[in-house]
Structure 1
Amino acid sequence: MDGLQEILYTLRQNKLRTALTAFGVFWGILMLILLLGAGRGMQNGVYADFGSDVLDFIVVYTGTTSVAYRGMGLGRQISLTLDDVDAIQRQVKGVGVISPTNERGGIAIVYGDKTGNFAVHGVPDEFFKVKESVPFPLGRKINPLDDAYVRKIAVIGTVVAERVFGKDVDPVGKEIRVNGVVMKVVGTFYDKGNRGRDSERVYIPITTFQKLFGASDKIAAIWLRPQAGFDGFVVEEKIIELLKRRHAVSPEDRRAIRSFNMAEPAKMVNGLFLGINAFIWFVGLGTLMAGIVGVSNIMIITVKERTREIGIRKALGATPFNIVSTLLLESILVTSIAGYAGLVVGVGLIELVSYFLNSVGAQLPYFTNPEINFQVAITAIILLIVVGALAGLMPALRAAKIMPIEAMRAD
Structure 2
Amino acid sequence: MKFDLDTFNEILLTIMRNKTRSLLTAFGVFWGIFMLVTLMGGGNGFKALMSSNFEGFAQNSAFVWPQRTGEAYKGFRKGRWWNLEQTDIQRVRQIEGVDIVTCLQNRWGATAVYQDKKSESVVIKGLYPEYDFIEKQKVKYGRFINDIDILEKRKVCFIGKKVSKELFGKDVDPCGKLIKADGIYYQVIGMAGDTSGNIQISGSADESIAIPFSTYAATYNIGGDIGLMCLTMKSGYKVTEVQPHIESVVKQYHLLHPDDTQCMQFLNAEALFSMVDSLFKSINLLIWMIGLGTLISGVIGVSNIMMVTVKERTTEIGIRRAIGATPRTIMEQILTESMVLTLIAGMAGISFSVFILQMMNMGMESSNLPADFQVSFGMAIGAAIMVMALGITAGIAPAYRAMNIKPIEAIRDE
Fold match, TM over 0.5? yes
Q: Equivalent residue of 1:137, what SS? A: strand
Distance 1:7 1:73, change over 3 A: same
Q: When the two structures are aligned, how many residues end up with a matched partner?
A: 405
Kindly provide the amino acid, as one letter, of the partner of residue 227 in structure 1.
K
1:316-372 deviation line (CA, Å, top 9, x unaligned): 6655444333322222222123212211221122112212331x3355xxx944232
The match for 2:271 is 264
2:68 to 36, 41, 64: 64
The match for 2:141 is 138
8 Å contact from structure 1 (residues 311, 403) kept in 2: yes
Kindly provide the amino acid, as one letter, of the partner of residue 299 in structure 1.
M
What does 1:308-327 align with in structure 2 at a 5 Å threshold? 308-314=315-321, 318-327=325-334
1:331 aligns with 2:338: yes
What does 1:134-213 align with in structure 2 at a 5 Å threshold? 134-189=137-192, 190-191=194-195, 192-194=197-199, 197-213=204-220
Distance 1:161 1:232, change over 3 A: same
Q: By how many angstroms is 1:50 displaced?
A: 4.2
The match for 1:241 is 248
1:4-27 deviation line (CA, Å, top 9, x unaligned): 432431322441144443333223
The match for 1:86 is 90
1:346 to 340, 347, 353: 353
TM-score, length basis structure 2? 0.88
The match for 2:47 is 43
Using the alignment, how far apart are the partners of 1:207 and 1:194 within structure 2? Answer: 26
Once superposed, what is the RMSD of the aligned Cα atoms?
2.6
Percent sequence identity over aligned pairs: 35
8 Å contact from structure 2 (residues 63, 230) kept in 1: yes
What does 1:373-388 align with in structure 2 at a 5 Å threshold? 373-388=376-391
8 Å contact from structure 2 (residues 67, 82) kept in 1: yes
8 Å contact from structure 1 (residues 78, 257) kept in 2: no
Using the alignment, how far apart are the partners of 2:243 and 2:331 within structure 1? Answer: 62
The match for 1:392 is 395
- Gaps spanning 5+ residues in structure 1: where? none
Kindly provide the amino acid, as one letter, of the partner of residue 38 in structure 2.
L
Q: Structure 1 residues 369-378 or 52-61, which shifts more?
A: 369-378
Using the alignment, how far apart are the partners of 2:108 and 2:236 within structure 1? Answer: 37
1:66-93 deviation line (CA, Å, top 9, x unaligned): 2011222123322222221111111x22
Using the alignment, how far apart are the partners of 2:190 and 2:337 within structure 1? Answer: 64
The match for 1:108 is 111
1:300 to 281, 303, 307: 307
1:231 to 238, 257, 280: 238
Q: Equivalent residue of 1:240, what SS? A: helix
8 Å contact from structure 1 (residues 332, 392) kept in 2: yes
1:8 aligns with 2:9: yes
1:371 to 374, 385, 409: 374
Q: Equivalent residue of 2:101, what SS? A: strand
- Gaps spanning 5+ residues in structure 2: where? none
Distance 1:385 1:145, change over 3 A: farther
Distance 1:362 1:86, change over 3 A: closer
Q: Equivalent residue of 1:126, what SS? A: helix
Q: Structure 1 residues 203-212 or 163-172, which shifts more?
A: 163-172
The match for 2:283 is 276
8 Å contact from structure 1 (residues 3, 326) kept in 2: no
1:257-301 deviation line (CA, Å, top 9, x unaligned): 221012223333333333333333332223323322231122112
Distance 1:70 1:351, change over 3 A: same
Q: Structure 1 residues 344-353 or 368-377, which shifts more?
A: 368-377
Distance 1:6 1:309, change over 3 A: farther
The match for 1:128 is 132
TM-score, length basis structure 1? 0.89
8 Å contact from structure 1 (residues 11, 18) kept in 2: no
1:252 aligns with 2:253: no
Distance 1:236 1:319, change over 3 A: farther
The match for 1:215 is 222
The match for 1:55 is 59
8 Å contact from structure 1 (residues 158, 200) kept in 2: yes
1:22 to 26, 40, 46: 26
Kindly provide the amino acid, as one letter, of the partner of residue 388 in structure 2.
I
